[in-house]
A and B are shown apart, each in its own frame.
Chain A
Amino acid sequence: MSTVNQTPATQSPALKDQIREFIMENLAHAKGITSFTDDENLMESGVVDSLGIFRIVSFLEEELHVRISDEEINAETLQSVNSIEKLVLSKKK
């Protein structure tokens, strides 16, 4: 396990909880999935599909008030709860 490059800014339980809860209730349940980890690749496990991605983007823009460009919508940024959190934090700096 590597902790290199992990800044304190990536640890914000409230934000992470919000993201996790949104994905669980709005996307995972509708796919018959009831658990996933913060590191899990949500696209590989089928939690997030092509429309799910844009529901996450709307959630980030409308509820968390960050602006996401089309180019930022990619497999790296939206892969997991952790990567989404990282994206939001980078926007809020």
Chain B
Amino acid sequence: MAYILQQLLTKSAERFPEKTAVWARGRSVTYRELNERSNQLAHLLHERGIRKGDRIGIYFPKCVESVIAMLGIVKAGAVYVPLDPQAPAERIGYIIGNCGCRALITREEKRRGLDEATRESLEFCVLIDETPKSSNGSEVLPWTILSEFPASDAPKVVLTETDLAYILYTSGSTGRPKGVMLTHQNALTFIEWCAETFKISSEDRLSNHAPLHFDLSVFDVYNTLEAGATVYLITEDLALFPAKLASFIEAQGITVWYSVPSALTLLLLHANLNAEKLAKLRLILFAGEVFPMKYLRQLANLLPHIELQNLYGPTETNVCTYYRVERDRLPSMDKLPIGIACENTEVFAVNDQDEIVTEPSGIGELYVRGPSVTFGYWADPEKTAKMVVPNRFQRNFEEKMYRTGDLVQLAEDGNYYFLGRRDSMIKSRGYRIELGEIESALLSYESVKEAVAIAIPDDIVSNRIIAVIAPHDGMDIKPADLQQHCGTRIPKYMIPEMIEFRTTLPKTSTGKVDRVQLTQESVRAAQQAAAEPVSQ
């Protein structure tokens, strides 16, 4: 039994040394190569003084080296932090500082894009591409240096399943991203459940559509390694073009697909999908946002041979519930359930009277307990204490559970249904977005007095984001300037696509900005705009 992630690789490397483990951008590595390269990287890190629990960032567009880096870092006993290569350098700098990354695996171009203070805070960088002549800042090491280190095994480090494996940063309501700490056990609980439930075998070819800083990728990478299968990393340029992506799925003989629903909707609408072309695809998993029923029905009809599974779970629990789509029920369903708890995980809804919901149609906030639940947020005991709370429903021993902030309803058949959020977190294209983080970016612009970010429901991407702004008296703000300013603080998918200006924002009786009224007005305006015929 594997109790740390790297054992998945070492076992498969023994069984299938010459089989392709990872493919990306026309290049691939076998299990033997992946195992040896990650051993070498682990030795390099170890020699440079990296020890158990140290954080190392992975900062480059995904390619085969991404997986080598992930495994090399955990083999050194360290914790990897996947950094969004498309996020503004300022945000990346914050994350590197927040979790105290000692080193980065990166490309020279990305390293150069970081601010000086961040570069200097790093002890060293391993570059997967080239070595610059002058390193200005931290020491830089070329990837070719790996060949000088032992390949046959990893350095000896004592690890248990409760050691941290990686930290995933998600949007934070107070204006800064927060780092969800995940242990080997958190990840393996999910991976082992998937392996058994979805019968992933060495014959499978998995796709990896999600970015590596997004928890969907945990399944793609580690269930591949667990089974001795092959994972095909789908790069951004390929993901953009549905017709090309569909040809790719067909040509590579992908058997298992996992993505956010919006990626599937775009494939459905623009790729001429048919069952014949995707004959090898046997399983589609989706998660991250609600799949609009009309598109799910179309997909289910178009691809009758494919098993469809709706997975649900915040990064803090990876996946905690699932629902296997029953095609015969689809026509009469107006909403897709998030389903029932995965094995080795318990979920329950807690109502306003602080009781566990047991009766059908009861509504409450979803709580999760079990080995998949995070210890909390890196260096943020306050937020951790709010979300990862003592289990007050049993007092025999000390135990934590995670409150998801999601409101759910229990149905007659035992399935849970997602109703909405308790706070102002929203989803867009599967990304978790705290409206507060956007507002704090807007408010950091000098001329902005008040700002509210609003989510407008959208068929394809779940939500689009707009902002309503009241400038300081006499200030004139150009929307494009404000959007540009946001682009230096938050990722592109969080920037409001439209900005409305008012002299003042409506207030509630307690003097707070009236979000509810603003949201209603904006949603109504958006619906009206959508209903208008296209101008000729």
Contact size range, A: 20 to 34
A43 and B492 in contact, given A32-B483, A51-B460, A62-B534 (Cβ under 8 angstroms): no
Cβ of B485 under 8 Å from chain A: yes
Contact A74 B243, beta carbon cutoff 8 Å: yes
The interface residues of chain A lying within 8 Å CB-to-CB of B298 are: none
User: CA A50 – CA B242 in complex, angstroms?
Assistant: 9
B472-530 CB contacts (< 8 Å) to partner A: 479-481, 483-488, 492-493, 495-498
Contact A30 B483, beta carbon cutoff 8 Å: yes
Contact A29 B241, beta carbon cutoff 8 Å: no
The interface residues of chain A lying within 8 Å CB-to-CB of B271 are: 70
A33 and B86 in contact, given A43-B237, A50-B239 (Cβ under 8 angstroms): no
User: CA A33 – CA B381 in complex, angstroms?
Assistant: 36
The interface residues of chain B lying within 8 Å CB-to-CB of A53 are: 240-241
Contact B240 A32, beta carbon cutoff 8 Å: no
A30 and B497 in contact, given A54-B270, A70-B272, A73-B270 (Cβ under 8 angstroms): yes
Q: Give min CB distance, B416 to chain A, whole Å.
A: 30
Contact B485 A32, beta carbon cutoff 8 Å: yes
- Of A31, A50, A51, A62, which one neighbours B495 at CB under 8 angstroms? A31
- Of A44, A46, A49, A75, which one neighbours B244 at CB under 8 angstroms? A75
Contact B240 A75, beta carbon cutoff 8 Å: yes
Main secondary structure of the interface of B (DSSP, over half): helix
The interface residues of chain B lying within 8 Å CB-to-CB of A39 are: none
Contact B498 A30, beta carbon cutoff 8 Å: yes
Tell me the nearest residue of chain A to B492, going by C-beta.
A31
A50 and B240 in contact, given A30-B495, A30-B496, A32-B495 (Cβ under 8 angstroms): yes
- B residues adjacent to A (C-beta < 8 A): 86, 236-237, 239-244, 262-263, 266, 270-272, 429, 460-461, 479-481, 483-488, 492-493, 495-498, 534
A-B contact pairs, 29 of them (CB 8 A): A30-B495, A30-B496, A30-B498, A31-B492, A31-B495, A32-B485, A33-B487, A34-B480, A34-B481, A34-B484, A43-B237, A43-B240, A44-B237, A46-B492, A49-B492, A50-B262, A50-B263, A50-B429, A51-B266, A53-B240, A54-B266, A62-B534, A70-B243, A70-B272, A71-B243, A73-B241, A73-B243, A75-B237, A75-B241
